[in-house]
Amino acid sequence: MTVPVFLLAVAAALTVPATPPREVNPPTPAARAVWLADRAVQEPRSEVMVLGTPHLAILPPTFDRARLEPLLARLQTWRPKMIMVEGVGGAQCDYLRAFAAIYPGVAEDYCPDPGAARAALKIDQASAEAEIARLLQDEQADRPAAQRRRLAALFLAAGDPASARVQWLRLSPADRVAGDGLTDDLLRSIAAIDKRPNENRDLAATLAARLGLERVWPVDDHTGDRAAGPESPEMAAAITRLWDNPMTRARKAVVDTTEAQLNAGAVLSVYRDANSPAAARFAVSSDFAATGADASPQRYGRRYLAYWETRNLRMVANIREAMGPTPGTRVLALVGSSHKPYYERYLGVLSEVRLVDTDTVLADRTN
């Protein structure tokens, strides 16, 4: 199923002008100096493909994961060397918990609980990260099962359950047993199939294991949540009013069909639509353009936009940091589809990065 024609018309009517933002607000003479670095970078550049995704938690636990196979097969053929996911890293989660007064409820909403793994291993976040780095520094195609079980437990202690899942998937079924710090309870938490689908677990971790990768990279960031200023009922009501617009209603008509399409097996079609220019226009026009246009004295919408831009800038910075030690690598950045236009905007100014169009992988090959 493709985006309905009437919705494309709505998107076209509300799209941004043809003049690129950089011409509206051109680089300063000092900023143009960065072009020297752009031209100086030698091949191969790092290739980054941003794959916008619906959040698969909209699906019930009984969803047949086999329906994701066509997408996984396409991504496996592209063979990324690193996979970035929309998850908050364990170190930041510890920070968010420590500063809960500044970030009320954020850790509870976005962070897994590493307590059981840390208690089982008698280890803290920093020590878990250090041991992971030490073990992975020794590159091995076939690690001993005991080491993979240890790594799975360490990733749970580090607050990275998707990477723990990668290690579990790389074990043979006979070796998926408790031991080496991986308790029965921790093992069940990794192996559980009664959870709602999750793109970090069911796409990123599955793909990483099939490609022989050791982990995924959580790059989400919520330290910039304070950019919106203190929350208040008045701000929440104002944002809700700004979201009540024709584009939001048109976009919702598309989103409401997503679960049915995925259940029907139209996974590639869903992902083509989610990564289309029309979907990007829906996301920006209905949400960030609508809030950015807020001219009220309180500027609540502009404060919300400050949060969103800060979050995406820091997410892209986390991607750049993770890929920095391996120039010329190939990266799949899996993220909620509303982030895709911002990811590509910010990644597009990096000297070492070449953006790859998702049509490289998702194009309809029946024509």
303-340, pLDDT tens digit by residue? 999 999 999 999 999 999 999 999 999 999 999 999 99
In order of 252, 273, 292, the CA distances from 247 in angstroms are 8, 16, 15
Of 8-12, 26-30, 194-198, 202-206, which range is least confident? 8-12
Q: Tell me which residue has tokens 């994701």.
A: 68
Q: What is the length of the chain?
A: 367
Closest of 302, 327, 317 to residue 92, by C-alpha:
317
For 185-210, what is the mean pLDDT?
93
pLDDT band at residue 169, thresholds of 50, 70 and 90? very high
Contact, 89 vs 218, CB < 8 A?
yes
Identify the pLDDT of residue 6.
Answer: 40
Closest of 163, 174, 172 to residue 142, by C-alpha:
172
Sorted by sequence, the CB contacts under 8 Å of residue 238 that are 6+ apart come out as 294, 296, 298, 300, 301
CA atoms within 13 A on the CB side of 353: 25
Q: Is residue 14's pLDDT more than 60?
A: no
Highest mean pLDDT among 9-13, 17-21, 139-143, 217-221: 217-221
53-94, pLDDT tens digit by residue? 999 999 999 999 999 999 999 999 999 999 999 999 999 999
Closest of 267, 258, 272 to residue 360, by C-alpha:
272
pLDDT band at residue 222, thresholds of 50, 70 and 90? very high
254-277, pLDDT tens digit by residue? 778 898 999 999 999 999 999 999
83-125, pLDDT tens digit by residue? 999 999 999 999 999 999 999 999 999 999 999 999 999 999 9
DSSP string, 259-300: HHHHHTT-HHHHHHHHTSHHHHHHHIIIIIHHHHT--STT-H
Q: Is residue 18's pLDDT more than 80?
A: no
